[in-house]
Structure 1
């Protein structure tokens, strides 16, 4: 993240029993322009908030919509314990920042900025991984298209690959897309050279 977010108009869900910590959070959120809702029941969907704060001392596995290490929104753990199991639970839920309890007003804004930044980085990494996995899944098409070019034009493997790559570059498509079009008959065999 290259900028500090402006939290005005954001919605936060605080998954915590009411106490002095939640009062401090809600007061500070008001100053930051964040509309906060406090509750102590499972969050059914990430759509209810722009960011989520969770009591990591008392939280349980079904408190959040998913538990695969990538939360749907920036997630901040509220933690008063040094118990390794509670820290591990927060990490498993996808928390990207911690606000220690008792909550100090000065700890809130930096934790929110960190949580948003790390969440965006995780999302970008997950998107890139999905893209690369898709390209790997499509590699057999590239191989098949290279083999088709070799057989049809009498090319070496390197020449067929270079031809396919050149065709992809001309059309500003990925090699996988051009290979799929070539194999599906939507694309004529490109000329060599």
Structure 2
């Protein structure tokens, strides 16, 4: 998820968005507990439940772009985060994963500038969707970014279409450690 920041204080409060924020937080808390504890990985009902909650939130937001005040709970959570530490951990994870799989995968970005905090480690692969499914079965959940709408003419934008169909973002966020990066590297290499 994400948000766009405005400096206007007079934006309306949306009860619907407030409700979605709570639903998203609940799903993320359930997912965090599910992902962090390997003994939970066999409870597919829990996985299905939180994925369904997240899907409901994302579908609504995709179909109903809204300009409103950020829900207070979301604002409070954001303000309580140590952004410097988060950035350092993401950079460390990206660099560790890059060291482990560099040359073994087709990385979209091969150098991390000093002032950049990465969202993930993006790789390109021809069978992206199959790899994504195989990784999910091993409890490595990789988002697909840059999905293009069907109205994009493939003949006019072949590079954009190829990236849209081949890019997969490996997770490197602050919840992960060096050991997690080693596991992700091992699983990705075994599945390619």
Query: What range is the shorter-chain TM-score in?
Result: under 0.3
* Greater share of residues in strand: 1
Q: Which has the larger radius of gyration?
A: 1
TM-score between the two structures when normalised by the length of structure 2: 0.23
TM-score between the two structures when normalised by the length of structure 1: 0.23
